[in-house]
């Protein structure tokens, strides 16, 4: 190679143009899409809900900031820590003690994300992993949905016990549960926003929901009972999980076929947990389990390159 001239112009490899969408813009759109669910949660459960969400976000952002100081690389501008904090807050009951969102935030960022190499390297969704960690360690607080607004069992627990539930309240969100999971409507509004922007698509949530419905129709013991099915869909954080946590880029398969396989796996697992497990929820555990299988799913769902197959045939 001959020497190259020093140039007064910028020189780089093709292409020379870049789309405007960047990582922070995507994270910002997710935050905006979560606002309806957040708003409803605060309306439903009171100002304490806001406090929990704020503590959770501060905890994740601060942890990421401090870790950034140690490794001398600031990453908080990509807003991914805010998304994690917000999701973690939305996944907690309003009655938890205030140190719990703080602890969860540290766990999510430090243990699940940063120690594995930061954004893009974690193999579990940080918010969900932190939630599961808290549920296992402090199950008394994390599964206690009694608060000023509601007392008594969650609709899913009632369903499991064979009682009837008020579907209308479930769709609107006037039920006990974690802060952000109760309102199906608010979550779907946010999800539509993300779908319209092209940030997420229906491959994961669609196949998740369809597979789950088919599973409970077959094994739920109630056949095709629309009321039962809608109650199952509206309760237990399924909507929040399907549209906002199963779709997390980093921890779902990147291949289109893989995304559908992943969604079906989640639907079936959630069905198994709900119908045959001890508790009535199961969304978080299904997604975490699914996250662990992602490398395997990706390996078997590689896209076929353009062009005729190995035999040289045309399609």
Partner 1 sequence: MAKFSFVGGIHPYDGKDLSKDSPIEDAPCGKELVYPLSQHIGAPASPLVKKGDRVLSGQRIADAAGFVSSPIYASVSGTVKDIDKRRTVTGDMVMSIILENDGLYESVPFTKRETADNLTKEEVISIIKDAGIVGMGGAGFPTHVKLSPKEPDKIEYVIANCAECEPYLTSDYRRMLEEPEKLIGGLELIVSLFDNAHGILAVEDNKPDCIALLKKLIKDKPYLSVKPLRTKYPQGAERQLIYAATGRKINSKMLPADVGCIVNNVDTIVSIYRAVYEGRPLMERIITLTGDAVKKPQNYRVKIGTLYEDIVEYAGGFKETPEKIVCGGPMMGFAMYGLDVPTTKTSTALLAFTKDEVSASAPSPCINCGRCLEVCPGRVMPSKLADYAEHFDEEAFLQNNGMECCECGCCSFICPAKRPLTQEIKSMRKILLAKRKKG
Task: State in angstroms the smallest separation of the CB of 201 from partner 1.
Answer: 9
Q: Where does this chain bind partner 1 (CB under 8 A)? A: 1-2, 4-19, 21-23, 25-26, 75, 78, 80, 118-121, 249-250, 254-256, 302-308, 312, 314-315
Do 283 and 270 form a contact (C-beta atoms < 8 A)?
yes
d(CA 78, CA 60): 13
Do 123 and 116 form a contact (C-beta atoms < 8 A)?
yes
Do 201 and 177 form a contact (C-beta atoms < 8 A)?
no
Task: State in angstroms the smallest separation of the CB of 81 from partner 1.
Answer: 13
Task: State in angstroms the smallest separation of the CB of 312 from partner 1.
Answer: 8
d(CA 220, CA 186): 27
Which secondary-structure segment (H or E) carries 40? helix 23-45
Q: Which is nearer to partner 1, 248 or 281 (CB)?
A: 248
Q: Which is nearer to partner 1, 64 or 78 (CB)?
A: 78
Task: State in angstroms the smallest separation of the CB of 285 from partner 1.
Answer: 22
Q: Which is nearer to partner 1, 83 or 102 (CB)?
A: 83
Burial-class residue 121 by CB neighbours within 10 Å (0-12, 13-18, 19+): exposed
Task: State in angstroms the smallest separation of the CB of 253 from partner 1.
Answer: 9
Q: How open is the CA angle 295-252-185, to the nearest 5 degrees?
A: 160
Task: State in angstroms the smallest separation of the CB of 6 from partner 1.
Answer: 8
Handedness of CA 41, 43, 44, 49 (dihedral sign): positive
d(CA 297, CA 118): 22
Q: Which is nearer to partner 1, 226 or 308 (CB)?
A: 308
Handedness of CA 70, 73, 74, 78 (dihedral sign): negative
- C-alpha distances in angstroms, 88 versus 145, 196, 238, 283, 297? 16, 25, 15, 14, 26
Q: Which is nearer to partner 1, 97 or 198 (CB)?
A: 198
200: tokens are: 């997420």
Q: Which is nearer to partner 1, 23 or 95 (CB)?
A: 23
Secondary structure (3-state) at 241: helix
User: Among candidates 62, 60, 114, which has minimal Cα distance to 88?
Assistant: 60
Task: State in angstroms the smallest separation of the CB of 80 from partner 1.
Answer: 8
Q: Which is nearer to partner 1, 34 or 55 (CB)?
A: 34
Task: State in angstroms the smallest separation of the CB of 218 from partner 1.
Answer: 31
Tokens 């906002």 identify what position?
A: 244
Q: Which is nearer to partner 1, 125 or 286 (CB)?
A: 125
Task: State in angstroms the smallest separation of the CB of 2 from partner 1.
Answer: 4
Q: Which is nearer to partner 1, 222 or 302 (CB)?
A: 302
């Amino acid at each position: 190679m001959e020497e190259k001239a020093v140039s007064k112009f910028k020189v780089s490899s093709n292409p020379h143009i870049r789309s405007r969408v960047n990582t922070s813009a995507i994270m910002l759109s997710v935050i905006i899409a979560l606002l309806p669910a957040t708003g409803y949660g605060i309306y439903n459960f009171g100002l304490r809900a806001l406090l929990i969400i704020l503590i959770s976000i501060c905890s994740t952002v601060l942890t990421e900031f401090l870790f950034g100081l140690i490794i001398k690389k600031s990453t908080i501008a990509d807003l991914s820590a805010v998304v994690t904090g917000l999701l973690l807050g939305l996944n907690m009951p309003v009655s938890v003690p205030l140190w719990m969102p703080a602890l969860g935030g540290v766990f999510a960022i430090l243990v699940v994300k940063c120690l594995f190499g930061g954004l893009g390297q974690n193999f579990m969704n940080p918010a969900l992993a932190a939630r599961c960690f808290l549920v296992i360690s402090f199950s008394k607080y994390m599964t206690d949905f009694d608060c000023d607004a509601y007392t008594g069992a969650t609709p899913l627990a009632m369903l499991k016990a064979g009682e009837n539930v008020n579907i209308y309240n479930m769709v609107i969100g006037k039920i006990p549960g974690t802060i952000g999971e109760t309102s199906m409507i608010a979550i779907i509004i946010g999800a539509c926003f993300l779908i319209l922007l092209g940030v997420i698509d229906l491959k994961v949530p669609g196949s998740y929901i369809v597979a789950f419905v088919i599973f409970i129709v077959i094994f739920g013991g109630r056949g095709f009972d629309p009321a039962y099915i809608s109650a199952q869909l509206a309760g237990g954080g399924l909507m929040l999980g399907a549209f906002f946590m199963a779709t997390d880029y980093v921890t779902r398969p990147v291949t289109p076929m893989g995304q559908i396989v992943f969604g079906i796996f989640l639907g079936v697992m959630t069905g198994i947990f709900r119908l045959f497990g001890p508790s009535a929820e199961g969304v978080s555990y299904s997604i975490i389990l699914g996250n662990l299988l992602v490398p395997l799913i990706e390996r078997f769902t590689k896209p076929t390159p353009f062009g005729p197959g190995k035999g040289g045939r045309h399609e």
